[in-house]
A and B are shown apart, each in its own frame.
Chain A
Amino acid sequence: MLDFLQQEIPLPNWIDSGVNWLTEHWSGLFSILQTVGEAVMNFTTNTLSAVPPLLMMVLLTVAAFFVFNRKLGFAFFTLIGLLFIYNQGMWADLMNTVTLVIISSLVAIVIGVPLGILMSKSETIQNIVKPILDFMQTMPGFVYLIPAVAFFGIGMVPGVFASVIFSLPPTVRMTNLGIRSISTELVETSDSFGDTAWQRLFKLDLPMAKENIFLRIVPDGLLVTRHLSSHQPAH
């Protein structure tokens, strides 16, 4: 018994060989993802950077004004912040970060929302997925960079990979929660009019859960970026 406790389980070795196996046998897939991902990211960053900084600042300020219920304060601080970044010579970095946030949020939505929907419709799926999400969320975001770098090498793509893994759990969770928290009466109402499963999804579930989903994704994208920014490999 004691013997067993003393004897170290060779977990690190297993993980090593697991990662090695993945990098060896799946390298084709990884390099495709790497290439495509890099191309998409570069395109996005280039497009963003092609916009003259001053024009971009005006656009973002106007957008902030309308997004935040026409509050002048928000628009004002947006402008000040952007000017400051520009002043510090970090405009290009900002565009890189914005790309990272946009792409990883999109990927998180594309994967996370359907998963959340499935989870809300079935207890079994919920019971399986939930612990996995918990596990994913206990790790700090940059931890995912390590395998990501192993798979994709250095660049923007491992950043997106890590961001997605980090922001996926909240997306799935909020979608699931958003749908599950719709009042029984509304569900009954929709059912009582003879809805199909798809009608229910598009006419009731998603409109009701929409805010829950989107209010979390963007902040989470930003949060993970903040986590990553101090650890991200140079690009």
Chain B
Amino acid sequence: MSRVRVRNLTKVFGKRTQQALEMVKEGKSKQEILEQTGATVGVHNVSFDVEDGEIFVIMGLSGSGKSTLVRLINRLIEPTSGSVYINEDDVSKMSKDELRQVRRTKVNMVFQNFGLFPKRTVLENAEYGLEIRGVGKKERQQKAEQALDNSGLLSYKDQYPEQLSGGMQQRVGLARALANDSEILLMDEAFSALDPLIRRDMQDDLLELQEKVQKIIIFITHDLNEALRIGNRIALMRDGKIMQIGTGEEILTNPANDFVREFTEDVDRSKVLTAENIMEPALTINVETEGPNVALQRMRKEEVSMLLAVDRKRDLKGSLTAESALDARKNEKKITEVLDKNVQKISKDALVTDIFDLIYNSPTPLAVMNENDRLIGVVVRGSVIGAMTDKTEGTAEKEGVNIDA
């Protein structure tokens, strides 16, 4: 069972909560409810699970209730109704002491404006969680230094937050949360105050970190590109309700409703989709077991003018055009002698935006390789263009390796 489970969580700000909830059920808009009752529906009937090692992104426009939702999880905001289970325990029903214990050891938070204490040095900031927990001076210092060291900030430990750049400050904020070594990390727009380049770095670092430490990360953002980049799954919120939960691809390719469709419409797909998303099956010839005749026959059947040559282990050997196959047959050469070895390889994680340039300069399809450098597919011009022209129905048409080379 998932360690974090949110069930029917609701928060109404204001006094006449009951009336406001009735009106929500009648389908009244947030605006109407506010005018009639003076109450604001922050979060309404939200349920989801988060798995171990997952980055769960909560996304939505300003005022959609993201910050409220994340604060309901560690109960910085009291829920109106519903439950938040961490392991087996319902946070919303805990006593003050139990809640404090959860905050000290299980859930930590990283804030949009870093939440660093200005009168404390970087090290003292990083120690804060441990200090609150009552960890002895020596031990907490050593742990905090370790956490700072991991983010390459150890040399700044005696500086004050204002002496650091925004990116560095947030690294301290993150290091502070990590020094506490809790299993769940809540990040409310943690990178939103940073400029785009730094932001990208931070996203990369977070992904790398997650690879190593496998926390449960609940990450809030209003930026769809960020969500798609780092989220294993994304929950899209609107007016306090969740519109859809799914992987980035599911949300892009299968929007649950018009709101989601509109929301995702102007995503720059080239920055989201990877080679793996748009690649097609590679038509190959096995140089160890097959000869030019098989190659030519396969080309005829598939109506292509070239094949990729691999060995038994699917290590890429080169490409074979129809002409060179004919040449090999006529002059009784081995296939390996006539191969064109200059096939461009790309990683399966290469972003489409980075593939653009390559594909226009490459006469042959790009070979998509997995992490073990085995051929898993090809990307042709057609598939790149197909991916860009909003395909909501499945993947691009199969075009084979039918390039006009």
- Give residues of chain A (172-207) contacting chain B, Cβ–Cβ below 8 Å: 183, 185-186, 188-196, 199, 203-204, 207
- Give residues of chain A (183-235) contacting chain B, Cβ–Cβ below 8 Å: 183, 185-186, 188-196, 199, 203-204, 207-208
Taking A185-B112, A188-B109 as contacts, is the C-beta distance between A193 and B132 under 8 angstroms? yes
Contacts of B385 in A (CB 8 A): none
Contacts of A192 in B (CB 8 A): 74, 76, 103, 107-109, 186
Taking A191-B103, A193-B108, A193-B129 as contacts, is the C-beta distance between A185 and B113 under 8 angstroms? yes
Q: Which of B71, B100, B101, B109 contacts A189 (CB 8 A)?
A: B109
Q: Which of A186, A188, A199, A204 contacts B76 (CB 8 A)?
A: A188
Q: Which of A188, A203, A208 contacts B132 (CB 8 A)?
A: A203
Q: B103 and A207: CB pair below 8 A?
A: no
Q: B119 and A208: CB pair below 8 A?
A: yes
Interface size of B as a range: 20 to 34
Taking A186-B115, A207-B119, A208-B119 as contacts, is the C-beta distance between A191 and B76 under 8 angstroms? yes
Identify which of A185, A193, A208 gathers the most chain B CB atoms within 10 Å of its CB. A193
Identify which of A188, A194, A199 gathers the most chain B CB atoms within 10 Å of its CB. A194
Q: B103 and A194: CB pair below 8 A?
A: yes
Contacts of A188 in B (CB 8 A): 71, 76, 109, 111, 115
Query: Closest CB-CB distance, A159 to chain B, in whole Å?
Result: 35
Alpha-carbon distance A78/B153, docked complex (angstroms): 43
Q: Which of A189, A194, A207 contacts B115 (CB 8 A)?
A: A189
Interface membership of B183, Cβ < 8 A: no
Q: B109 and A194: CB pair below 8 A?
A: no
A interface footprint on B87-115 (CB within 8 Å = 1, 0 otherwise) = 00000000000011111110111011101
Alpha-carbon distance A190/B74, docked complex (angstroms): 13
Alpha-carbon distance A194/B103, docked complex (angstroms): 5
Query: Closest CB-CB distance, B89 to chain A, in whole Å?
Result: 15
Contacts of A207 in B (CB 8 A): 117, 119-120
Alpha-carbon distance A183/B76, docked complex (angstroms): 15
Taking A188-B111, A203-B131 as contacts, is the C-beta distance between A193 and B117 under 8 angstroms? no
Interface size of A as a range: 10 to 19
Alpha-carbon distance A144/B101, docked complex (angstroms): 51
Alpha-carbon distance A208/B117, docked complex (angstroms): 9
Contacts of A196 in B (CB 8 A): 100
Contacts of B117 in A (CB 8 A): 186, 189, 204, 207-208
- Give residues of chain B (202-234) contacting chain A, Cβ–Cβ below 8 Å: none
Contacts of B131 in A (CB 8 A): 203
Taking A194-B132, A199-B132, A204-B117 as contacts, is the C-beta distance between A189 and B104 under 8 angstroms? no
Interface membership of B7, Cβ < 8 A: no
Alpha-carbon distance A199/B100, docked complex (angstroms): 12
Q: Which residue of A lies closest to B111 (CB)?
A: A185
Contacts of A191 in B (CB 8 A): 76, 103
Contacts of A208 in B (CB 8 A): 117-119
- Give residues of chain B (117-132) contacting chain A, Cβ–Cβ below 8 Å: 117-120, 128-129, 131-132
Contacts of A183 in B (CB 8 A): 113
Alpha-carbon distance A193/B179, docked complex (angstroms): 12
B interface footprint on A119-142 (CB within 8 Å = 1, 0 otherwise) = 000000000000000000000000
Alpha-carbon distance A188/B74, docked complex (angstroms): 11
Q: Which residue of A lies closest to B114 (CB)?
A: A185
**Selected A-B contacts with CB under 8 Å, 24 pairs:** A185-B111, A185-B112, A185-B113, A186-B115, A188-B111, A189-B109, A189-B111, A189-B115, A190-B128, A191-B103, A192-B76, A192-B108, A193-B133, A193-B180, A194-B100, A194-B103, A194-B132, A194-B133, A195-B100, A199-B132, A204-B117, A207-B120, A208-B118, A208-B119
Kindly list the 5 A-B residue pairs having the minimum CB-CB distance in the complex, ordered from nearest.
A194-B103, A189-B115, A194-B104, A192-B109, A194-B100
